[in-house]
Structure 1
Amino acid sequence: MHTAQIIRRFNFHDWGGTENVVWNSALELLSLGVTSEILATAAGAKPGKTINSGIKIRRYPYFYPYWPLGSRQKQALDKKGGNPFAPGLRQRLEQVRYDLFHVHNSGRLAEMVQAVSRKQGVPYVISFHGGCFDIPEAEQKELIAPLRWTFPYGGILDRLLRRKRDCIAGAAGIISVGANEVPKLQELYPDKHIIHLPNGVNTRQFRKRVKYSWRHKLGLPPERRLYLCVSRIDYQKNQLLLLKMLSEQLRAGEDVHLLLIGPCTVSWYLEQLQEYCRVHNLSERVTIFPGLRPDDERLVAAYQEADLFFLPSLHEPFGIVVLEAWCAGRPVIAAAVGGLQYLVQDGETGLLFKSDDLSSLLQACQRVRQPGLAEYLARNAWLEVKNKYTWARISQRLANFYAEVLEQYHHH
């Protein structure tokens, strides 16, 4: 089986959860007889073809249909929320015979795939990685902020190209990464083949001990606790709540250091975090480090050395970084939002706190110090990963889903 994996952007130097899923599942599918070609826009990268670990990656020129659109606005859309046109990508889909299209975006790229699917008689499936029903209103407004004072001519092009807006309706199958959104999808599309397929994790990578030491680099004394959060520097990820937590704990005499690792997708939010650190004298107790490649041993070292891992997101469809922390044997404290409520079993594989609630977060920090609880959570979480979230298991389920979709499509 030969598949086209269509994704809005694919850049090893600016990694996100969707790229992680596409790349690792493509690698694992090879052993199951399923080949994948990754087709993306050139957002954050150069157009052209590369081959990595036997996987072909093609990136195409693209544009956003807004005028005027400056370079900073374009970069903001590249990082988050962009809905581009990519004519060259469509040509590739029409020129090569694929058995199945798998699109990881519900915007114009999915509408383009739908049009080619009808023309070529090739089924397509669509994955929802970033949530589609529970995105907070404030986040939705921020997504369109770069487009203020621009003229959107995309609607005109859509009509000229006769694109259909409901790309889900034409899909032969739907994958929801977050368990919380499956019921809504089933309600809206009762005749569709819909599955919940969570993200996976490279267990070997995060279990293997590495030599790099963050404690040594940061000059931390042995008694100082190291807290970690790995996620984009973004208002959605809500790192500001961790700074407020740290301020309270330092005021209470606790000895802690907070390490934030992740690419910056919202520059004003990074400035807000830095200003908060300056005003509250936290600069020597907080380290903000740019995003690391997924294969960088410094990322693994951060997980392995941390005393606690936090994910305080306001909106989180899944939370692949939780799996990475579990692999490294770290206890996790996460916000009870979105897919995290289904991923983390409170009191068994981690601790949950009320969204954006400092008091609830501080209570979770006290709770995890109960004798033996951190070790109990970490032990259970590792068993959960081994039994449910290895890439081998996830990719086998994906291959089975592809086979079922193809059989149903050609049977009808």
Structure 2
Amino acid sequence: MRLWRSAAPPAPRVAHVLRKYDPAEWGGTETHVAAITRELAARGWGVEVHAPAGPTAADNALAPGVALRRFGAFCPYVGDRTSLRALRAAGGNIVSIDEPLRLLGDRGLALAHVHTSGRIAGGVRTAMRLTGRPYVISAHGPVMVDTEILAEESARRQRGVWDLGSPFGLLLGARRVLEDAARILVFNEREREALAAHHGDRAVCMDHGVDAARFAGGDAARARARWPELGEGPVVALVGRMAAQKNQALAVAAFARGAPADHRLALAGAETDPGYRAAVEREARALGVADRVRFLGNVRPADVPDLLARASLVLVPSTHETFGLAVLEGWAAERPVLFARRSALAGLAQALGDDGGVAVPTLDTGAWAAAMGRVLASEPERRAAAAAGAALVRARFCWTRVAARLVALYAEVLEEAQRSPAPHAARRRAAEGRTG
């Protein structure tokens, strides 16, 4: 008779690799990684988050079982100090030798999941290929759609600096990251279709998720105590880093023309485009609403639900988004969200079934002012929009559902890796043979 049970196989380990993890400059990618790693850990996966050197104090964003491991990296640019700071904060194509060496030495990792592109991703690619293990990449920015916007942003950030890192990119195979990835995860169907034309079924569209219970539990009274400068009147809120992409300038201009005089505008988010906050402040003064616009700076993720609970309306006037997590957070907080029907946000408008009510089809100030004025004047419209968004979040965008799909995808990738060291390359050769 058997007197013992065989030990269960150890849980697979996965490393999520980012180009930045800083609670003082929190963004959508960090929110996504913190939530998805929490879900993976709850399902028995061994999960780590790898990021360049930064704050080491506990931030309570990662689950207790998720390790944060820092690695050395450097920004291979020279030039203007302000521009260099902007590159480090948002768009710099940084280099790490430390991280690929760590991945090479840690053979216990089953796969890597990289959440950036460029040279950091190239280092992951090289280490995983040398050790015969797969990696997947999540594209949290434009890849083949809205690329002109990306090129414009990159050129603006790199004004006054010179990039000396091209040899590192060549050495690490940074330009082959997508070509050699087991899966390329994107967050809107337009991007998936464009990538599929080059990478076939390795391009996969995924949803983001949101913790509906946490956001619905926001407390307006706590927000009043935390931000007394917002006063006691109605509040319109925009939560997002201070950057041209998030378009706080449009929010201020539309607020000046469309919001009643007793409303205040709360702009919450760390500045990642140096000088942009000052430009928005100048705009608020020029429009005569400086006394009604409050710049809250970086807001801890734990405090965002309270701020949203304080808001009568949430704004997302972004010039472009790869998904639109801020829209989901507003809906989860059971608040109406006025957002731009552009790039991936158009997909959220379609999912909501909105034909122009709270999804503004243009970035024209007049159109935004008119929409804001109409929604703020109608409590029934705000209530209906909030209810529709909250229902959509519960039906489609819960983290449990997103994580289940990701785990299934990981299982496919690991099974393919056992059968062949580069199954996607074999499929690509077969496809080329059929079309040649």
Q: Give, in whole Å, the separation in 2 of the partners of 1:188 and 1:263.
A: 36
Corresponding residue number in structure 1 for 2:204 = 195
Corresponding residue number in structure 1 for 2:90 = 80
Say whether the 8 Å CA contact 1:331–1:350 is kept in structure 2.
no
Displacement of 1:238: 0.9
Displacement of 1:173: 0.8
1:328 aligns with 2:343: no
Q: Give, in whole Å, the separation in 1 of the partners of 2:191 and 2:391.
A: 25
Displacement of 1:58: 1.1
Secondary structure at the counterpart of residue 175 of structure 1? strand
Give 1:151-190 correspondences, 5 Å limit: 151-159=162-170, 161=171, 163=173, 165-190=175-200
RMSD (Å), alpha carbons: 2.5
Corresponding residue number in structure 1 for 2:244 = 235
Q: Give, in whole Å, the separation in 1 of the partners of 2:265 and 2:172.
A: 51
Unaligned runs of 5+ in 1: none
Q: Give, in whole Å, the separation in 1 of the partners of 2:153 and 2:202.
A: 33
Q: How many residue pairs end up in the alignment?
A: 401
Query: Out of 357, 361, 375, which is 2:364 matched to?
Result: 357
CA spacing shift, 1:179–1:204, aligned 2, 3 Å: same
Residue identity matched to 1:108: R
Q: Give, in whole Å, the separation in 2 of the partners of 1:164 and 1:212.
A: 46
Query: Out of 98, 122, 130, which is 1:119 matched to?
Result: 130
Corresponding residue number in structure 1 for 2:307 = 302
Q: Give, in whole Å, the separation in 2 of the partners of 1:40 and 1:70.
A: 25
Residue identity matched to 1:248: R
Residue identity matched to 2:265: L
CA spacing shift, 1:158–1:378, aligned 2, 3 Å: closer
Query: Out of 197, 214, 228, which is 2:224 matched to?
Result: 214
Give 1:274-289 correspondences, 5 Å limit: 274-289=281-296
Displacement of 1:73: 3.5
CA spacing shift, 1:411–1:362, aligned 2, 3 Å: same
Say whether the 8 Å CA contact 1:125–1:171 is kept in structure 2.
yes
Secondary structure at the counterpart of residue 222 of structure 2? coil
TM-score normalised by structure 1 residue count:
0.90
Q: Give, in whole Å, the separation in 1 of the partners of 2:333 and 2:312.
A: 11
Displacement of 1:168: 0.3
Residue identity matched to 2:195: L
Query: Out of 9, 34, 37, which is 1:23 matched to?
Result: 34
Q: Give, in whole Å, the separation in 1 of the partners of 2:320 and 2:169.
A: 30
Displacement of 1:148: 3.6
Displacement of 1:214: 3.1
CA spacing shift, 1:353–1:37, aligned 2, 3 Å: same
CA spacing shift, 1:146–1:351, aligned 2, 3 Å: closer
CA spacing shift, 1:151–1:303, aligned 2, 3 Å: closer
1:90 aligns with 2:97: no
Secondary structure at the counterpart of residue 68 of structure 2? strand
1:387 aligns with 2:395: yes
Say whether the 8 Å CA contact 1:332–1:350 is kept in structure 2.
no
TM-score normalised by structure 2 residue count:
0.85
Residue identity matched to 1:391: W
1:347 aligns with 2:354: yes
Say whether the 8 Å CA contact 2:99–2:123 is kept in structure 1.
no
Q: Give, in whole Å, the separation in 2 of the partners of 1:108 and 1:157.
A: 7
Displacement of 1:370: 4.9
Residue identity matched to 1:397: R
Q: Give, in whole Å, the separation in 2 of the partners of 1:116 and 1:219.
A: 50
Q: Give, in whole Å, the separation in 2 of the partners of 1:141 and 1:371.
A: 39
Corresponding residue number in structure 1 for 2:416 = 408
Corresponding residue number in structure 2 for 1:2 = 13
Displacement of 1:183: 0.8
Displacement of 1:348: 8.1
Relative to structure 2, which stretch is displaced further, 227-236 or 278-287? 278-287
Corresponding residue number in structure 2 for 1:377 = 385
CA spacing shift, 1:286–1:202, aligned 2, 3 Å: same
Displacement of 1:46: 5.9
Query: Out of 25, 32, 35, which is 2:43 matched to?
Result: 32
Say whether the 8 Å CA contact 1:139–1:236 is kept in structure 2.
no
CA spacing shift, 1:88–1:258, aligned 2, 3 Å: same
1:317 aligns with 2:322: yes
1:338 aligns with 2:343: yes
Q: Give, in whole Å, the separation in 2 of the partners of 1:30 and 1:3.
A: 10
Corresponding residue number in structure 1 for 2:431 = none
What stretches of structure 1 move > 4 A for 4+ residues in a row? none
Secondary structure at the counterpart of residue 347 of structure 1? coil
Higher helix proportion (structure 1 or 2): 2
Say whether the 8 Å CA contact 2:17–2:50 is kept in structure 1.
yes
Q: Report % sequence identity.
A: 29
Unaligned runs of 5+ in 2: 1-11, 421-436
Corresponding residue number in structure 2 for 1:60 = 71
Residue identity matched to 1:99: A
Q: Give, in whole Å, the separation in 2 of the partners of 1:219 and 1:174.
A: 43
Displacement of 1:138: 5.5
Relative to structure 2, which stretch is displaced further, 263-272 or 147-156? 147-156
Say whether the 8 Å CA contact 1:227–1:257 is kept in structure 2.
yes
Corresponding residue number in structure 2 for 1:131 = 142
Query: Out of 246, 255, 278, which is 2:262 matched to?
Result: 255
